A and B are shown apart, each in its own frame.
Chain A
Amino acid sequence: MKVILTSQGDSLDAAMDARFGRAAKFLLWDSSTQAVTVVDNQQSLDAPQGAGIQAAMTVIKQGANAVITSHCGPKAFRVLQEAGVKVYLTKAAKCREALQLFQDGKLQEASNANVEGHWT
C-alpha cells in the first residue's frame, strides 16, 4: 500500500507538517519497497483558495491509499473520501514516528474532517 505523510522536509526524519492542504511537502511511502519519495505540493501552496482540494487530487494522482496528517479540512476530506483514500490523524511530531504508529496499527481512521473550512 502507498501512504502519504504531510511533512516539513524531504525525509522521514523531518517534522510532520500539521496542515494537509498547505503542507510543505508530501512523503509517499510504499509498503512493498519501504521506499520514500518526495512529492511536491507547490501548486496547493500557491493556490489562493481550494488548497485542500488541490492537495487531495495530488494524493489521488500518486495512487495513495491513505494519508497521515494532523489537520484535515472538510473539502479535502470529502474529495479523499470520495476517492476511497483513508485519512489517519496524528499528533506525532516526526514523520518517522507517525509512520511507526500507523504500522503498529495505533492510528485510527478519521470519519470526519477535524478542522473547519475556510476561504483563503
Chain B
Amino acid sequence: MKVAVASGKGGTGKTTVSLALAAAAESPCLLLDCDVEEPNCHLFTSAEPWRTEGVDVLVPEFLGDGCDGCGACVRSCRFNVLAGFGRKVMVFAEMCHSCGGCVLACPHGALREIPYSIGRLEFRHAEGFELISGVMNVGYAMAPPLIRQLKKHLPASGLALLDCPPGTSCSMVTSVRDCDFVVLVTEPTPFGLHDLRLAVDTLAELNLPCGVIVNRAEAGATLIHDYCQEAELPILLEIPLSRQIAETCSAGGGLLDACPDLKEPLQALLAQTLPGLLAGRSVAS
C-alpha cells in the first residue's frame, strides 16, 4: 500500500504525521521524502546516509561544428532554453525540460545530449523504517524529474509512505500520482481549509481517494469538520493543539514521543481504516 501524506497548505504537519506513521507501522516500511526542495524527514533521525545516488537529467550541449546558424534548435524549444545568433548557440540548461527536441531538430548534428545534475537521493536506515530523501540542488527549480527518480525505489509490496511537497502544483501531483491513498493533513484555520479544498479538488481530478487528519485540533474549531461532512470526506485522526507536541518536535523528537497514546490510532489507521476505505472503494467502482 502506497500512502501519500500531502496537505495543500504548508506547515500543517505532513512530516510529523509521515514520521509518526512510519514509527507506528507494525512491520518495517519505506518512507520517501518527496519534498525535494526542502526535505526534512532526515532531521528527525540520527542516521547518516549509507548510500547516495546522483540524479541527472539530459540537456543539450552545443558542439559548434556543423552549425550554420539556421535557428532550427532555437525555434524547436518552447521553453526558450536556447539562444542563437550567428553560428553560436547558448544553452540555459537549468530551464530545460529534457525533451531532446532541439537535438532532433538540428539538421547538422551540432547539438548532443549530456547529463546535468539536478540533485541526489539519500538512503538512510532510520529507527524502524527505511528513509530515502530526494534533495534538489540549490538553484534548480524543477522538482518532478527528481521525484520521479525517487519513486522508482517504491517497493512492489509492503507499506510505503510518501511525505509530499505542500501545494497542489506539479511537484505535489508527481508525488501523489499512482499512490493508493492520500492522507491530507490540515489545521482548523481559514487558510488550512482554503488549501485543503484545493488539494481535495486536485485529488478528485486525479481520481485518488483521500482522508483528512486535523492537526492542532481545538474544541470549538469545527470548520474542517463542517467541510469534511459536506464533502463526504473521512476524518482519519485529530491531533490536539499542544505545546508539548510543539516542544518535542522542535527538539527533534517525534509525535509519538510527545503523545504515545496516538500510536494505537495510527496503527489502526494503517492496518484497518485505510485498507477498509480502499476495499470499499473497489467494491463501489
Contact = CB atoms under 8 A, between A and B. Distances in A.
Interface residues of B, number: 14
B191 to A, nearest CB: 23
Interface of A: 47-51, 53-54, 56-57, 60-61, 75, 78-79, 82-83, 119
Nearest to A52: B80
B80 A50 contact: yes
B181 to A, nearest CB: 32
A50 B92 contact: yes
17 contacts: A48-B78, A48-B79, A50-B80, A50-B81, A51-B80, A53-B83, A53-B92, A54-B80, A57-B84, A60-B85, A75-B92, A79-B83, A79-B90, A82-B85, A83-B85, A119-B95, A119-B141
Nearest to B71: A57
A57 B74 contact: yes
Identify the interface centre among B74, B79, B80, B85: most chain A CB within 10 Å of its CB: B80
Interface string B183-210: 0000000000000000000000000000
Interface of B: 74, 78-81, 83-86, 88, 90, 92, 95, 141
B2 to A, nearest CB: 30
Contacts, number: 36
Contact of B90 (A47, A49, A51, A82): A82
Given A79-B90, A82-B90, A47 B85 contact: no
A49 B84 contact: no
B79 A78 contact: no
Given A60-B85, A79-B90, A82-B90, A50 B79 contact: yes
A56 B80 contact: no
A61 B88 CA distance: 13
A104 to B, nearest CB: 30
A56 B90 CA distance: 12
Nearest 6 A/B pairs, CB to CB = A50-B80, A79-B83, A60-B85, A119-B141, A53-B83, A53-B80
